Amino acid sequence: MNWSHVKLIFHREVRDQLRDRRTMFTICILPILLYPLMGMVMMQVAQFHREQHVTIGVVGYENWPEDFPLITEVENDTIRWKKLLSDDSLVRAFEASESKRKSTDVFETRVGSHHQSNDPNAAEKLLRQFESDAIVWVPPSFRESISRDSMVILSNQRWERSQLAAKCLNERISEWHAHWLRSHLKVSEIGAALMDPPRVMQVDVSSAEMKRAIVWSKILPFVMLVWALTGAFYPAIDLCAGEKERGTLETLLCSPARRREVVWGKLLTIMCFSIGTALLNLASMHTTASLVMSQFSGLGTGDMVAAMGPLPLHSMGWLILLVIPISAIFSALALAVACLARSTKEGQYYLMPLLLVGLPLVMLPMIPGVVLSPGTSIVPITGAVLMSRALMDGEFMHALLHLPTVATVTVLCCMLSIRWAVRQFESENVMFRDSERSSMTQWIRNVWRQREDTPTPNESLLCGLLILVCLFFGRLSLGGMTLSWMSIVQSTIVIQLGMILAPALIMATILTRSIRKSLRLNRPGAKELVATVLLAISLHPAYTGFASLVGAEYKLGEQTTSMLMQFDSIIAAAPIWSVLLVLAMVPAVCEELAFRGFLFAGLQHNNGHIRAILLTSLLFGLSHGVLQQTITASVIGLLLGWLAFRTGGVVCTIVFHCVHNSISMLLVSFSSCGSVAPQWLTWAIESSNGQLAYTGTWCTLSVGVAISLIAWFASQKSIAESLQAFGQHATQKSIRSVPNLSRGH
Amino acid sequence: MDLVQVRNLSKSYPDSVQGEIIALENVSFVAKAGEVFGLLGPNGAGKTTALRILATILQPTSGSVRVFNFDVTKQADYVRHSIGFVSNNTAIYDRMSAWELVEFFGRLYALPDDHLYPRMEKIFRTLQMEDFKECPGAKMSTGMKQKTSIARALIHDPPVLIFDEASLGLDVMVARALQSIVMELRDQGKCIIYSTHIMREVERLCDRVAIIYKGKVIDSGTLEDLAERHHQNDFEELFYQLLMLGDKVGSV
């Protein structure tokens, strides 16, 4: 790569963007102006709130104890009292009801009758009639029996002022009651100190600087990432879709700069603006918020607000360090997506989904309780945010522990995003797309005419997504069923046959010429089958260990745990042959035909075996619904994908899957029955805490056996030859398809 | 000397509706140094695709294309140094002046300062661009943009120049100026591939032509050869007749 070309393109693009008033306004001017303006508005609103008063009407204040008045003349009191006179209609109504024993009921009936008369604004009318935000009614006998008779506070919770008035009134009455009680205790010669709560001295070991860092560490990474994403958007659209629209990209592509160099030049520009936007917003928000909050703290508004002073410098350093890799990911993704667009308008449509995908990853660290752990560190962006938060909070050792994982995931994401962007630039179909012609019938006719023996990668992906959507709605609709063996059988059959196998089978029938090749139905040798069975048995201890690790890291909720326990006891009670048929055999056949069959067949096109293994395992994992199962199934899916690739078909993976499921079911079934391991198996299985588990000897031995079997599969000459034959067949097929294509015209 | 050699060039695109679009099918032609070779055809005939392949922007599906004896697929870097591409889309950066744009491309071609600036001054003087050299692209007229585009294509003094409908939308004055520039470049020994819809321009400029229709070359040769072969001296009429003939052959 010629870096002088990259530098030239970068300089040109940066200069071009700096000359664009719209970009400059969004990226530079807006952040500088936005937060001070917002701060100004906030200060004014807060001032308004501080100065506003609430009006509370009091009915029957003459019933209040005279020695301890509720209404006092205090300067700057937030409550304005309004004694309602006896000639008011409402008061008359109360007085009239005084003869009745439960006068509060009368009041409530009166208010209630307004509601019942289909007049939803009745309560509002009462409050409006007396121009009050809330009305308190003091019962006639209140002075004599303060604790026995209840007051009534009428408020309208739809109005914020009314909510505030009710809150103020409650606080004022509580204060009054404490004062009243204290006085009475004094009179009764009981120590008033009895009322005081025990004294507790709060000692906070964190420094003021650290407290400030903790408050900011929750807010700033989120703000920064949102702006890093937004800051990458507009330059990406302008530099790619905009250049296509203006026709300048073509000129650049026939210049000495190679496409990779053009991509790097543009990518660095987008990154530059993404980082710039994020940092400018950060600085502007931080400065404004610190100043505004210092104003509030001066007025004694609370500890949290007081803690939001200026962020320590080292914390700011960690944030700046975070923004670089995150901006690189966002910029590369934005550039790749913007490549798909033919115009700036189209680019905006394409970038919205990117925002929708990116935001949840940015939002995830905001959820209370989400901290940096082995589980969260592998989530792209989320891990990096949590890491920067840990560093800002001063938890250096904790952050250092997760640094390798977070760095690997982030670098991997960066590399993949950049590679995708370069590929987009190198693809003629993407760079020189003509305007779309929307003829559905012609498209369907073409799909039918052009179908091949196996599905295309897009058809396979569509099938995978269709399965996931079907499973989502299927599980929701089946979720209400009571847990019994019959319901488990029904739901398993419906899910496996109807939602996993059926989409693959229907698509194989409609979109391909050969169902056998689309589902990769092969005839493996006896040796391969035996090796597959042994591999499934020998890998099961390792799988169990891994599943326990995942379970320990990502704890199941109480509800899920109890459901799983119930599920295990139902399985234990069911006939073992039916358990193996329904929970081992059926899922093995259906899932393998769909994932390692139809999906794999399409995704392995153009030597895309690695793509096929990765994507099928991911989709297979996601089809399991629960996070813990998703992780374990994705990992086992990688092995199944590799096995499907090595054996050239789906039969071995069905056998593996079936044996694996059967062992799991047998262990669960026997453990739940409280059975002990048979004598001849004690070297491999033991009972511990009422559960059947693998012995240490077998765990060690099995890993060795599994590795040997994997090596055997990897070295099988016959399989390699069959794969080569499959490759030749695929080549012949592609040659054959040429006349088919030309027939289309 | 054949500076451009196109042999059995085919190009097809995948298409979601039709499955595949064949843009070029077994197209062959050669263009020599010191001649203007006209690539003619109606809209959608495949001219721009062929020129984009010559400019290494697109890859050929099959066939061989050599520019200045470099293969466009295997030696794309050398090909890019040997061509200057001027398209119908004037392709000027809105926020860059003519001077900055030509300077940017000169630097991409790694021209040293002592060579770049005298050459820029010479080109700006020859193309009469000195009046608007500081004018940003957004404020340029179509003629100014096209001149800037030509200056950009000439900065590295390439032996082959490709003009893809470069006179589209130009007024008579600028179009005439463009023609004089092309003739001057031909006289300097450059090989010029010139694609246009204007038959008067073809008659005035082109030494030899190839007529492309529906992705195939339906005839080629000097204008005199074509006139003699088809007994038609009016080139526009001859062009029309050839297209009609192409339609009939296609329908049979």
Which of A248, A427, A438 to mutate: most B Cβ within 10 Å? Answer: A248
pLDDT recorded at residue A104: 43
Find chain A residues with C-beta within 8 A of B14's C-beta: 429
Least confident stretch, A33-42, A398-407, A689-698, B213-222: A689-698
* B18·A442 Cβ contact <8 A: yes
A512-525 pLDDT per residue, tens: 888 888 889 888 88
Rounded to the nearest angstrom, the minimum Cα separation between A743 and chain B is 10
Per-residue pLDDT band at A736 (split at 50, 70, 90):
very low
Q: Determine contact, residues A604/A514, Cβ cutoff 8 Å.
A: no
Neighbours of A1 (CB within 10 A): 8
Find chain A residues with C-beta within 8 A of B77's C-beta: 256, 258
A526 touches chain B (CB under 8 A): no
Q: Determine contact, residues B167/B178, Cβ cutoff 8 Å.
A: yes
Task: Please name the residues between 458 and 487 in chain A that touch chain B, using a CB distance below 8 Å.
Answer: none
Q: Looking at residues A106-133, what average pLDDT do you find?
A: 54
Question: How many whole angstroms from its chain centre is CA A604?
Answer: 30
Least confident stretch, A50-54, A94-98, A650-654, A709-713: A94-98
Closest in A5, A247, A741 to B20, CB measured: A741
pLDDT recorded at residue B154: 86
B45-104 pLDDT per residue, tens: 888 888 889 888 888 988 889 988 899 888 888 999 889 888 877 678 888 899 999 999
Q: Looking at residues B5-24, what average pLDDT do you find?
A: 80
Closest in A246, A254, A449 to B56, CB measured: A254
ipTM: 0.88
pLDDT: which is higher, A48 or A411: A411
Residue of A nearest to B89 (CA): A247
Up-side HSE of residue A75: CA atoms within 13 Å toward CB?
Answer: 0
Residue A641 has pLDDT above 90, yes or no: yes
pLDDT: which is higher, A726 or B238: B238
Q: DSSP 3-state assignment of B90?
A: coil
pLDDT recorded at residue A102: 44
Q: Looking at residues B14-41, what average pLDDT do you find?
A: 83
A522 touches chain B (CB under 8 A): no
Least confident stretch, A107-121, A262-276, B179-193: A107-121
B89 touches chain A (CB under 8 A): yes
Give the number of beta-carbon pairs within 8 Å between A and B. Answer: 88
Task: Please name the residues between 430 and 449 in chain A that touch chain B, using a CB distance below 8 Å.
Answer: 432, 436-437, 439, 442-443, 446, 449
Tokens of A610: 């690695």
* A250·B59 Cβ contact <8 A: no
pLDDT: which is higher, A23 or B97: B97
Per-residue pLDDT band at A536 (split at 50, 70, 90):
very high
Alpha carbons B171 and A702: distance in angstroms, whole number: 83
Residue A657 has pLDDT above 90, yes or no: yes
pLDDT recorded at residue A90: 59
Residue A281 has pLDDT above 50, yes or no: yes
pLDDT recorded at residue A742: 33
Rounded to the nearest angstrom, the minimum Cα separation between B100 and chain A is 9
Residue A729 has pLDDT above 80, yes or no: no
B90-102 pLDDT per residue, tens: 678 888 899 999 9
pLDDT recorded at residue A656: 93
Q: Where are the domains of chain A?
A: 53-191, 210-428, 457-743
* B80·A254 Cβ contact <8 A: yes
Neighbours of A380 (CB within 10 A): 18
Find chain A residues with C-beta within 8 A of B94's C-beta: 246
Rounded to the nearest angstrom, the minimum Cα separation between A468 and chain B is 25
Residue of A nearest to B158 (CA): A255
A182-233 pLDDT per residue, tens: 888 877 777 767 777 777 877 777 666 666 666 677 777 788 888 888 888 8
Task: Please name the residues between 255 and 284 in chain A that touch chain B, using a CB distance below 8 Å.
Answer: 255-258
Q: Looking at residues B217-231, what average pLDDT do you find?
A: 84
pLDDT recorded at residue A243: 84
Q: Determine contact, residues A324/A304, Cβ cutoff 8 Å.
A: no
Q: Determine contact, residues A142/A151, Cβ cutoff 8 Å.
A: yes
A674-691 pLDDT per residue, tens: 666 667 777 777 777 667
B104 touches chain A (CB under 8 A): yes
Find chain A residues with C-beta within 8 A of B54's C-beta: none
Residue of B nearest to A17 (CA): B95
B117 touches chain A (CB under 8 A): no
* B17·A8 Cβ contact <8 A: no
Closest in A15, A443, A742 to B17, CB measured: A443
pLDDT recorded at residue A17: 87
Radius of gyration of chain B (CA): 18
Tokens of B144: 């100014």
A625-637 pLDDT per residue, tens: 777 888 889 999 9
Alpha carbons B20 and A462: distance in angstroms, whole number: 21
Tokens of A683: 């070297």
Per-residue pLDDT band at A439 (split at 50, 70, 90):
low
B22 touches chain A (CB under 8 A): yes
Alpha carbons A326 and A303: distance in angstroms, whole number: 33
B148 touches chain A (CB under 8 A): no
B146-156 pLDDT per residue, tens: 888 888 888 88
Per-residue pLDDT band at B170 (split at 50, 70, 90):
confident
Residue A77 CB partners (closer than 8 Å, separation 6+):
A53
B188 touches chain A (CB under 8 A): no
Find chain B residues with C-beta within 8 A of A745's C-beta: 18, 20, 22
A741 touches chain B (CB under 8 A): yes
Find chain A residues with C-beta within 8 A of B85's C-beta: 250-251, 254
Give CA angle at A261 (A260, A267), nearest 5°: 90
Find chain B residues with C-beta within 8 A of A734's C-beta: none
| Average pLDDT along chain A | 78
Kindly report the CATH class assigned to B2-251.
Answer: alpha beta
A298-351 pLDDT per residue, tens: 554 455 555 556 666 777 778 888 888 888 888 888 888 888 887 788 888 877
Residue A741 has pLDDT above 80, yes or no: no
Find chain A residues with C-beta within 8 A of B96's C-beta: 12, 15-16
Interhelix angle A558-573/A485-493, nearest 10 degrees: 100
Question: How many whole angstroms from its chain centre is CA A530?
Answer: 43
pLDDT recorded at residue A105: 44
Find chain B residues with C-beta within 8 A of A257's C-beta: 108
A457-484 pLDDT per residue, tens: 888 989 998 898 888 888 777 766 667 8
Alpha carbons A239 and A267: distance in angstroms, whole number: 9
Indicate the pairing of strand B2-15 with strand B19-32. Answer: antiparallel
Residue A361 has pLDDT above 70, yes or no: yes
Helices (H), A196-312: 208-236, 243-246, 248-253, 259-298, 303-306
> What own/partner pairs with CB < 8 Å and gap ≥ 24 does A692-700 have?
A692/A667, A693/A544, A694/A540, A694/A541, A694/A544, A698/A541, A699/A541, A699/A542, A699/A545
Which of A254, A261, A262, A426 to mutate: most B Cβ within 10 Å? Answer: A254
Q: List b or e across A347-360, with b for residues whose CB sees 16 or more CB atoms inside 10 angstroms.
A: beebbeebeeebee
Residue A745 has pLDDT above 60, yes or no: no
Residue A600 has pLDDT above 90, yes or no: yes
pLDDT recorded at residue A270: 92
Residue of B nearest to A2 (CA): B108
Find chain B residues with C-beta within 8 A of A511's C-beta: none
Residue A180 CB partners (closer than 8 Å, separation 6+):
A65, A68, A146
B188-207 pLDDT per residue, tens: 888 999 988 888 888 888 88
pLDDT: which is higher, A740 or A73: A73
Least confident stretch, A52-61, A599-608, A712-721: A712-721
Residue A710 has pLDDT above 70, yes or no: yes
pLDDT recorded at residue A340: 80
Q: Looking at residues A419-434, what average pLDDT do you find?
A: 76
pLDDT recorded at residue B4: 87
Per-residue pLDDT band at B251 (split at 50, 70, 90):
very low
Per-residue pLDDT band at A114 (split at 50, 70, 90):
very low
Q: Looking at residues A642-656, what average pLDDT do you find?
A: 91
